[in-house]
Amino acid sequence: MAFEAKLSLRQMQRMVMTPMLQQAIHLLQLSRMELLQAVRQEVETNPVLEELAEEPEESDETPAGNPVTEEPTVERNGEGSTGEIDWDSYLQDASDYRPSIQHESVERFDSESLLTRSNSLQDHLLFQLHLTAKDQELLSLGGLIIGELDDNGYLRSGIEELASLAGASLESMESALRLVQGFDPAGVGARDLHECLVIQLRMRSEEHAVAEAIVGSFLQDVERHRFGKIATALGVPLKEVQEAVALIASLEPKPGKNYSSEAPQYITPDVYILKIDGRLLVTLNEDGLPRLRVSRYYRQILSKHAPAPREAKGYVEEKMRSALWFIRSIEQRKRTLIKVAESLVKYQRDFFEHGISSLKPLTLRQVADDVSMHESTISRVTTNKYVQTPQGLFGLKYFFHRGVPSTVGEVVSSRRVRDLVRRYLTAEDSSKPLSDQKIVEMLAKVHGVEIARRTVAKYRGQLKIPSSNQRRYV
């Protein structure tokens, strides 16, 4: 069998993702803060790009159109080629980046100017410590204990370990702990749930011996509503046990939760949907995003009459191409975001005007068909993006969900059904909590929504609402 080498030509089509396309896709899925970081990094690494501090003045030589849309073709067979580009005509004072989408200017109230830092749990306790204690050792040990409390107000470190760390006796450390445990909020400084509840009971004016006994030995029975077993074990009437359980239910298991030391996370919307004169208008949030342009100095280097080495011009041409594609990718991202937001207004207009009761089911496919894009593009542009609407601040992913069939002939939004479940549970009689089956019957009778009991249980779990047995405390 003979082998031979030969050449053959074959014509075929295949999809090639160029680096420029990869960059455009990458910028499309970035959040607002990530985009800002990407712009800063690109400005630092690409000397051709410049950041404009303010809106530049229009020059006589600047064409009225958007320069980004007039970009000539810079690729051939998947490779960049700049030999045939007339840089003089293309970059003649026309490379300033100005968004082509114009929107009505709307004054917005800056709520951050009114924000103040709230006191943390440690600040609140240290203030009481300095008002109460005069002894320097007690102040030092109390401050050490307060510094070891977690966000819920519990002391997670061992008292022996703290005494060894401070070089103090165990008795002195326990005295400081008792002092801290007497501070507001009641229950702070406890080492476990039992001690936290006991501290709160003992800080009340009257004694609650039955409640303290239940906290000490029968909390698991309380969770399972075994009140008869508790009454028999303690030798007290069932009614007295029920009153003690009601008192325990009124205590706070996390005394420090109202003094969280975590800094609040502020969300900046990417898009505004504003209702002005009865119309819903879509506008981008461009506050803080820098405007970009190509440096005039490097445009002069690419001029035909500029005396520059060939290597220098080649380097500038490469950076010029990268800068133009970066600007174009940012512009394309904005256009896509605007199109998707306008499509949401089209499908969810009733929600923006009337609230969650008018929210409709929506899929990525519907929006993709409406804006003539692929589903993957819609998924990328809605990831980690937020929109400020007349109904509040929402993630763009919030509007995409499935529907629930109903007897009235129309499909009801699953988010609306979950909101109905929440309303029923928050308005129920605490002495007679609604079961999941009862909510199923009420949804079918009042709203014509037919769902299974396990679906109600799933929505209740998402809302972090316990079952009817756990909600019944008497």
Indicate the domain borders of the chain.
Answer: 19-99+269-392, 121-259, 402-471
Q: Is the peptide bond before 466 cis (omega within 30 degrees of 0)?
A: no
Cα end-to-end distance, the chain, whole Å: 93
Phi/psi of residue 447, each to 5°? -115, -5
Which residues have C-beta within 8 Å of that of residue 29, sequence separation ≥ 6?
A: 380, 381, 383, 384
Homologous superfamily assigned to 402-471:
Homeodomain-like (1.10.10.60)
Nearest partner of 383 among 402, 370, 365, 364, judged by Cα:
364
Cα–Cα dist 93/59, whole Å: 8
What are the tens digits of pLDDT across the range 308-349? Answer: 677 877 888 888 888 888 988 999 999 999 999 999 999 999
Q: pLDDT band at 54, cuts 50/70/90?
A: low
96 near 52, Cβ under 8 Å?
A: yes
The pLDDT of residue 166 is above 90: no
What are the tens digits of pLDDT across the range 179-216? Answer: 999 998 999 999 998 999 999 998 888 888 899 899 88
The string of DSSP letters for 299-355 reads HHHTSTT----HHHHHHHHHHHHHHHHHHHHHHHHHHHHHHHHHHHHHHSHHHHHH-
* SS3 state at 82: coil
The pLDDT of residue 362 is above 80: yes
What are the tens digits of pLDDT across the range 89-123? Answer: 544 444 444 444 444 444 444 544 444 556 788 88
What percent of the chain has pLDDT above 70? 82
The pLDDT of residue 255 is above 70: yes
